[in-house]
Amino acid sequence: MFSLLAISLSLLLQSPFGFVRADVQPFNSYPNDFVDPTYIVAGKFSNATTGAQQSIISWAESISAYGPWSVTDKPFNAPSGDPKDYVSWAPYWWPNCTGVGNTTELTPQQIWVTCPYYQRDGQFNPDRLTVDNIGAFTNLSDAILYNALAYSFQNEPSSSYSQTIAKFVDAWFLNNATGMNPNLNYAQMERGPNGQVGSHTGVLDLKGMAKVVSGILILRQRNCTDWTEALDTQMIAWTNQYINWLETNKLGIDECASLNNHGSFCFNQLTSLKLLVNDVQGSINSSNTYFKGIYQGQINSTGDQPFEATRTHPYHYRNYNLAAMITNARILKYADPTSNPWNLTTKYGATIQDALNMVMTVDPNASDEEYAVAEIFPNIAAVASTYGDPDGKYVAFLQKAFPEYPWDGDFLWDQPLAGNPGSTDAGSNSTTGTTGTKDASGASAVKALTPLTLIVALIFGIGAVLL
């Protein structure tokens, strides 16, 4: 107990703002990202990323407490009757029972199959969470990413973080009793008398595959002993079946052909999963299909995103698709280091950077999206670290709107990026030196801070996630 206290105390004392602030940020689930495993495995993190590393360790531990997850954990099965089929309900669809007679007599189960459903864009039907396979997968994808990063901070072939990943991957994907069937036939099901089948929009539910792949590639490249040959072989087999479904089932084909964020996120899955199965050329091909295809129409000459600007939550959707475009660019850059996705222009002559610059001029309040303010922060960090920030406008924006950004997890991989005034090498591009938190004592110290983190999370936590 004494030693734990001493460690916490020393950690606080060496933290840039002493006792004034928490060392970790509230849990953050980014809409999507792909974290270059080679950069992580090299482990040459600037001292400025110490706070981000502490947040990541804390996030790995907090999100893992909800796992393991399985699609079989739901109150009813898909119409197939197979508990291993993934299920979610179309979030913006509502029943209209006026035409079906005695509505007061209908149980919820009868409403699902009796009343016609119709769409109200942007308005969640609260009963969508009756089945929460989607929440489970989102948490799983964060757990795999953050545990893999936490594992990478330790110089060990095995750790509790990588053991957790092995356990979670088995439960969700591979285990004979609980593993998900490799398809999304019942994702975002539209209910009603003619419904009970998935819609292509449901493919979006698994966009976090890019995080899953990042995590697994890190374990693989680090020769993690918990990521066994058997796990790797089974995961590749599962993924090959799922890729086949994505590329041949009408739902997958239609989703990747969607002109808006749905298409962009669909390619996040396809291109990252092909890396998982070691089909690098296939991944590059799919990236090219994206960048020569739907990307061409996604950013116009004023930097706006026509297919997102017209939605009910335009600030959210612009940032959402930006996250997907950034993820597609990161995956292609990793798969083919000679490629230059950041400079690829749409048919209107615009780049991803132009899209971000435009969103930076938008006031989220103008569309009553005050809740979505934070969605731009990881996009700014990604663009600043990729294109550079010669006039300091990205850092200035972050310092004003989100001064804690060097403690946010993505600061680890969105480098170089100026920030962290308390660090010995604030704002430098230094790639030398590692940090004092890459060991078990750092992890313990962070655990000791968790109650404070929870309070901060309760105060500042942003729960709203739109689809």
Residues contributing to the site for ligand NAG (CB under 6 A): 27, 41, 47, 66, 96, 98-99, 101-102, 105, 118, 132, 135-136, 139, 176, 222-223, 279, 281-282, 285, 300-302, 304, 306, 309, 340, 342-343, 363, 365, 370, 386-387, 416, 418, 424-425, 427-430, 432-433, 436
Alpha-carbon distance 84 to 70, whole Å?
Answer: 8
Tell the smallest beta-carbon distance from residue 285 to ligand NAG (Å): 4
Q: Which residues pair with residue 119 across a beta bridge?
A: 93
C-alpha distances in angstroms, 21 versus 293, 376, 377, 446, 458?
46, 23, 20, 13, 15
| For ligand NAG, the closer CB: 2 or 239 | 239
Residue closer to ligand NAG (CB basis): 198 or 282: 282
Residue 249 CB, nearest approach to ligand NAG (Å): 18
CB of 1 to ligand NAG, least distance (A): 26
Nearer to ligand NAG by Cβ, of 174 and 197: the residue is 174
Q: What single-letter DSSP state applies at residue 405?
A: G
Q: Cβ-closest residue to ligand NAG?
A: 99
User: Rounded to a whole number, what is the largest CA-CA distance in the chain?
Assistant: 72
Encoded tokens for 458: 């309760």
Q: Tokens 């509790």 sit at which residue?
A: 160
Residue 105 vs 391, nearer CB to ligand NAG: 105
Q: Please report, to the nearest 10 degrees, the dihedral formed by the alpha carbons of residues 184, 286, 275, 351 taken in order.
A: -110
Please report the DSSP string for 428-444 in residue order: --------TTSSHHHHH
Measured CA to CA, the distance from residue 99 to residue 103 in angstroms comes to 9
Tokens coding 163? 């053991």
User: At closest approach, how far in Å is the CB of 101 from ligand NAG?
Assistant: 6
Looking at the Cβ atoms of 41 and 111, the one nearer to ligand NAG is 41
| Residue 254 amino acid letter | D
For residue 213, which of 34, 90, 53 has the smallest C-alpha distance? 34
- Minimum Å gap between C-beta 211 and ligand NAG is 14
Q: How does strand 117-119 pair with strand 93-95?
A: antiparallel
Q: Tell the smallest beta-carbon distance from residue 201 to ligand NAG (Å).
A: 19
Q: Considering the complex, state which of residue 1 and residue 225 has its C-beta at the smaller distance from ligand NAG.
A: 225
Whichever of 386 and 420 has its CB closer to ligand NAG, that residue is 386
* Helix and strand totals (H; E) in the chain: 18, 2
Closer residue to ligand NAG in complex, CB, 110/365: 365
Smallest gap from Cβ 22 to ligand NAG, in A, equals 17
What is the Cα gyration radius of the chain? Answer: 22
119 half-sphere exposure, CB direction, 13 A CA radius: 9
Return d(Cα 31, Cα 437) in angstroms, integer: 27
Q: How far apart are CA 467 and CA 452, in angstroms?
A: 30
Residues 381 and 33: beta-carbon distance below 8 Å: no
Quote the least distance from Cβ 3 to ligand NAG, whole Å.
20
The distance of closest approach from Cβ of residue 104 to ligand NAG in the complex, given in angstroms and rounded to an integer, is: 7
| Residue with Cβ nearer ligand NAG (199 or 351) | 351
